[in-house]
Chains A and B, each alone.
Chain A
Amino acid sequence: MCDTCGCNITPGNQHLVEAGGKLSHTRDGHESVEVLKNLLAENDHTAEHNRAHFDRHRVLAINLMSSPGSGKTALLEATIAALKDQLNIAVIEGDLETENDAARIRAQGVPAIQITTGTACHLDAHMVHKALHQLDLHNIDILFIENVGNLVCPASFDLGHHCNVTLLSVTEGDDKPAKYPVMFRAADVMVISKADLLAVLDDFSPDKAITHLSELANPAPSFILSASNGQGMQDWLDWLTSEVTRHKQRCAAFKTLRPAIQPEGAALHHHSTS
Chain B
Amino acid sequence: MHELSVCLSMLDQVRDIARERDARQVSKIIVQIGPLSGIEPALLAQAFPIASAGTVAEQAELILEHSALRVRCLECDKESETQTNNLLCPACGSNNTQLISGDELMLARVELITGAEETQTPPETTFH
Q: Which residues of A contact B120 (CB under 8 A)?
A: 29
Q: Is there an interface contact between A33 and B21, defined as CB atoms closer than 8 Å?
A: yes
Q: Is there an interface contact between B114 and A29, defined as CB atoms closer than 8 Å?
A: yes
In the complex, what distance in Å separates the CA atom of A57 from the CA atom of B39? Answer: 34
Q: Which residues of A contact B9 (CB under 8 A)?
A: 39-43
Task: Let me know if A84 is at the binding interface, CB within 8 A.
Answer: no
User: When the two chains form the complex, which single residue of A10, A23, A32, A153 contacts B100, counting CB atoms closer than 8 Å?
Assistant: A10
Task: Let me know if B56 is at the binding interface, CB within 8 A.
Answer: no
* Interface size range of chain B in the complex: 35 or more
Q: Which residues of A contact B87 (CB under 8 A)?
A: 181, 185, 215-217
Most B-side CB within 10 Å, residue of A31, A150, A152:
A31
* Interface size range of chain A in the complex: 35 or more
User: When the two chains form the complex, which single residue of A8, A39, A185 contacts B13, counting CB atoms closer than 8 Å?
Assistant: A39
Task: Let me know if B92 is at the binding interface, CB within 8 A.
Answer: no
Q: Which residues of A contact B58 (CB under 8 A)?
A: none
Q: Is there an interface contact between A272 and B100, defined as CB atoms closer than 8 Å?
A: yes
Q: Is there an interface contact between A217 and B97, defined as CB atoms closer than 8 Å?
A: yes
| Residues 197-243 (chain A) with a chain B CB within 8 angstroms | 212, 214-217, 219
Residue of A whose beta carbon sits closest to that of B17:
A33
Most A-side CB within 10 Å, residue of B98, B99, B110, B114:
B99
Q: Is there an interface contact between B107 and A39, defined as CB atoms closer than 8 Å?
A: yes
In the complex, what distance in Å separates the CA atom of A164 from the CA atom of B105? Answer: 20
Q: Is there an interface contact between A181 and B105, defined as CB atoms closer than 8 Å?
A: no
User: When the two chains form the complex, which single residue of A28, A38, A121, A261 contacts B105, counting CB atoms closer than 8 Å?
Assistant: A38
CB distance from B73 to the nearest CB of A (A): 9
B-binding segment of A98-106, A130-138, A263-271: A263-271
Task: Let me know if A155 is at the binding interface, CB within 8 A.
Answer: yes
Q: Which residues of A contact B17 (CB under 8 A)?
A: 33, 35
| Residues 103-124 (chain B) with a chain A CB within 8 angstroms | 103-115, 119-120
Interface residues of A (CB under 8 A from B): 8, 10-13, 16, 23, 26, 28-43, 120-122, 124, 150, 152-153, 155-157, 177-179, 181-182, 185, 212, 214-217, 219, 261, 263, 265-266, 268-269, 272-273
Q: Can you list 5 pairs linking A and B with CB atoms under 8 Å apart?
A: A30-B113, A30-B115, A42-B9, A217-B97, A268-B98
Known: A10-B67, A13-B65, A30-B27. 4 other contacts (CB 8 A): A33-B17, A178-B86, A181-B87, A265-B103
The 9 closest A-B pairs by CB, nearest first: A29-B115, A12-B67, A153-B2, A217-B87, A156-B38, A12-B101, A182-B38, A178-B85, A181-B85
Interface residues of B (CB under 8 A from A): 1-2, 5-6, 9-10, 12-13, 17, 21, 23, 27, 30-32, 34, 36-39, 65, 67-68, 70-72, 84-88, 95-115, 119-120
